[in-house]
Structure 1
């Protein structure tokens, strides 16, 4: 048979062809491919992140539900307390049952062992100590006799041991028992005492069974150094089955009792919580302006009295609020009507006063001075009337905000320019601090200028000639302007009333700037109309500082202010400079 060989040359020319190497797997990943382990790590990180976010959300929901539901809290606490109480009682009860069951078994086993020792003593009293066959026969016969006697403790196995020095012979009713005897039990019985132990002894199938082992020495006429011991092994499988059944019954009973008590707690809580929830809902609707809201009264118990009290309170509130609304409307109408009615005669009187004021040079000095005083007081009356009209518009909810982007540094400069003459009369310097970048906010320029004029005018009047510091600052969401004076200052009680209408810190003090006593009240309303804050800090002898905070965008909510309300470089009265 011929062997066909394969040539490496070309079939056509016979020229040798270079061998083609088999493609080897690339050790480095190709471009655009990621190692599988890297993708797996990223997936694991995303999965852990999602699991963390989910667990946080669930925890927040559970916490919110726990805080918002009284019924859930009562049910959970009742279940926890009832469960702990039932578990403790069940453990104590199960322990007592177990102790009594095992105690009765142990007492019966000990009594049976004592009778067995007496029988064994009669059987081995004449044992031939030197004859191994006789010893083995005697021990086997005795074990068989003990096994056939039975007793009240139930089934048992017997082990008899004969010791003579280091020599030991044994006879057993079942071979698995003797190796399972504890060493401390051997030692205690060897010392001449009766003892018992609980141990795991293999049964005929090799499974370990809880067993009560009772051992005792057998008195004999043997020589010194020789002894006979007998051991009884009482399986506790029946007792174990009984305890398992009792344990299962106790567990089921505990669970049912706990759920039953928790159900009672939830039911009782619901009977109380539902009327409270209805009362809370009614109170919320009442607070929202539904003055006709009332609760349904059922029965004559405490909850019915709560509903009756709530309805009585709602009736009283509705009556008082209706009266207050009527009084407020009457007061607003009176203020508005008086202000409008006074406008025409005031204009006429002011025109006449202007004529007298221009001709005062032709009058006697006393009459000329009276004309000047008349003109000044009419100007103050004009300011008061304008402020009253403005307050009436706020009270009627008719104030309208005409907001547009404004550069706040320009507003501050205009206010400072208008107050320069007043500051000069009081020998007061106006100091302006502002950032280099423009601060633009959507505000009503007329109202913001009015607020700043009121604040700067008050600072000049109460600054006792000290410099008045005006500071402008801004952050990403808000702009703030502070007006700081170093005059008499304000106490904590004064700061709480400084925005009240017609309020003065010192009623006996004569105003030098003039005003209606409504300037700060109108300023506060102007700030609120912008969605901003107007706040004050003061300390007696250390001056005061007002802070106006406005959102940069109209309608935005304020979170913080770019400037602190309390001055940073504060020098307390009496401190050294």
Structure 2
């Protein structure tokens, strides 16, 4: 399952800073806007109510407790000012019928107060004898509607309602304009704060991510083998502590790797030196072994059997020493290719014919397949693959050659039980044997490792798998023109 792409650390930090700024700016601006809006409207409302009370005091005493339309209009005119309009209505006690209201609108920007503008809830409060006000929106304009009854106060008698109700409509457009400007200012300040936060976040993330990027680059170089890689330690914060720890770890790793490389080099020199030193006595032993092998048939038992055993073990030891010398050449980097244009099919036949395997191995070889290869090294590869198939597999053993314009592929297959799944990854390991009980005379455990090294020296490869119908399948892929290798003499 392909993992979903995620934002980088820089993007996440920028997003977190921006989100924090937006939330903070929105909270502060929203709170400030709400408080300012409430303060503006409350101040306007209080001023309008107080102005209405002041004007109502000029009406007392009323000339007529049961005023007609003209008198109601006079009341409305007294209460209204240049920013508001008023309406006065009269309703006799115990009568639901109202007389025609008296309107007054001085002109200018004052809204024309109509009965439909007065909320029913406000009417009920005023009818109950209390002063009340309410903000409404009429035809898209904000209006403050204030209503109050005119009361009758007579000495010690209880205060009673006169039946006259006065309503004033105050235009709130100037205040709404101020509130709108305040909202725009809040948005502008929030936007400026957001930009400022993004700039600060960029600077902060740059300061934080620079040492992180340096650590990442240093870790990558260290992983690629640059053991001397270090990072600069700046300051004394947590990142500086991480850089200091990285440098200590890198130094310790460099020391261990140097020790391991030195030990590996010593081991390779030891193997190479011992292998070369053994060649001389082995040559003498081989000569003696040849004589013993010739005389073994005429010697009495068990001397004959001992002579044949010495001869065979001498041959095995000679093969092991030769394999060790070959492996040491690969390890030291001196192995080189001696390239020639060869007929690959003929090379396969020669390998089988030289070792007497022609009758035991079935071949399917494409004709006219030429390649520029090292025939000796390819012969070693094929001999190892076919020899293993004959020794450890079951017949029939087959060799098949295919080719395309760039590559050749040689497939060696047997029809035995195949290799266990746990064995497949280790087939080409040095000194690895699939069965621990296998006799030591069956091989040194270096043949397949040398075969793969030879394939890679050609810049090809050697792989193994199990066939679906049984048997191991080794596949050798080589370029048709192997590059010239640079190495010392063999």
Q: TM-score over 0.5 for the alignment? A: yes
Given that 2:48 and 2:170 are in contact with CA atoms closer than 8 Å, whether structure 1 keeps it comes out as no
Q: Of residues 72, 80, 83 in structure 2, which corresponds to 1:156?
A: 83
Map of 1:211 onto structure 2? 142
Question: Does structure 1 residue 93 correspond to structure 2 residue 31?
Answer: yes
TM-superposition CA deviations, 1:407-444 (whole Å, max 9, x none)? 655555555556763984xxxxx45566x686665543
Shift of 1:508: 1.1
| More contact order relative to length (CA 8 Å, sep ≥ 6) | 2
Give, in whole Å, the separation in 2 of the partners of 1:83 and 1:550. 63
Match of 1:526 in 2: 454
Alignment pair present for 1:490 and 2:427: no
User: Which moved further from structure 2: 109-118 or 388-397?
Assistant: 109-118
Q: What is the match of residue 459 of structure 1? A: 389
Match of 2:137 in 1: 199
Superposed CA deviations along residues 279-308 of structure 1, whole A, max 9, x for unmatched, are: 445455555555455555566554454444
User: Given the alignment, which residue of 243, 260, 270 partners 1:324?
Assistant: 260
Structure 1 equivalent of residue 74 of structure 2: 141
Q: 1:441 to 1:383 in 2, by over 3 A?
A: same
Q: Which runs of structure 2 are paired with 1:224-303 in the superposition (5 Å)?
A: 230-245=167-182, 247-248=184-185, 250-259=186-195, 261-262=197-198, 265-286=201-222, 291-295=227-231, 302-303=238-239
Aligned equivalents of 2:460, 2:167: Cα separation in 1 = 98
Give 1:333 deviation, angstroms. Answer: 2.0
Q: Is structure 2 residue 383 aligned with structure 1 residue 450?
A: no
Q: Name the CA distance, whole Å, in 2 between partners of 1:292 and 1:461.
A: 49
Aligned residues of 2:105 and 2:112 also touching (Cα < 8 A): no
- The whole-number CA distance in structure 2 between the counterparts of 1:380 and 1:498 is 21
More off after superposition, 99-108 vs 325-334: 99-108
Aligned with residue 105 of structure 2, among 166, 172, 176: 172
Structure 1 residue 375 corresponds to structure 2 residue 306 = no
CA contact (8 A) 2:87 2:103 kept: yes
Equivalent in 18, 25, 35 of residue 80 of structure 1: 18
CA contact (8 A) 2:460 2:478 kept: yes
Cα distance, 1:140–1:444 mapped onto 2, change above 3 Å: farther
Check conservation: 2:327, 2:450, Cα contact below 8 A: yes
Shift of 1:501: 1.2
Task: Measure the CA separation in 2 of the matches of 1:235 and 1:161.
Answer: 21
Cα distance change of structure 1 residues 170 and 420 upon mapping to structure 2, 3 Å threshold: farther
| Structure 2 unaligned regions, length at least 5 | 91-96, 127-131, 152-162, 484-490
TM-score computed with the length of structure 1 as normaliser: 0.63
Q: Match for residue 433 of structure 2?
A: 504
1:126 aligns with 2:66: yes
Distance in structure 2 (CA, Å) of the matches to 1:492 and 1:466: 21
| 1:535 is aligned to 2:463 | yes
CA 1:373–1:475: 2 relative to 1, 3 Å: same
Q: Distance in 1 between matches of 2:425 and 2:301?
A: 46
Matches within 5 A, 1:551-562: 551=479, 554=482
SS at match of 2:291: helix
2:37 matched to 1:108?
no
Unpaired runs of at least 5, structure 1: 1-62, 129-134, 149-154, 202-207, 221-225, 425-429, 556-577
**Is the CA contact 1:459–1:468 (under 8 Å) kept in the aligned structure 2?**
yes
Q: Is the 8 A contact 2:55 2:79 kept in 1?
A: no
In 2, distance between residues paired with 1:229 and 1:264?
Answer: 59
Distance (whole Å) between structure 2 residues aligned to residue 245 and residue 507 of structure 1: 88
Within 1, Cα distance between the matches of 2:30 and 2:371?
A: 75
Is 1:354 matched up with 2:290? yes
User: Which residue number in structure 2 is paired with residue 558 of structure 1?
Assistant: none
Aligned length: 456
RMSD: 4.7
How much does 1:230 deviate? 3.6
Q: Does the Cα contact within 8 Å between 1:419 and 1:457 map onto a contact in 2?
A: no
Counterpart check, 1:546 vs 2:474:
yes
**1:186–1:93 CA distance, 2 compared to 1 (3 A):** closer
Q: Match of 2:154?
A: none
Q: Is the 8 A contact 1:489 1:540 kept in 2?
A: no
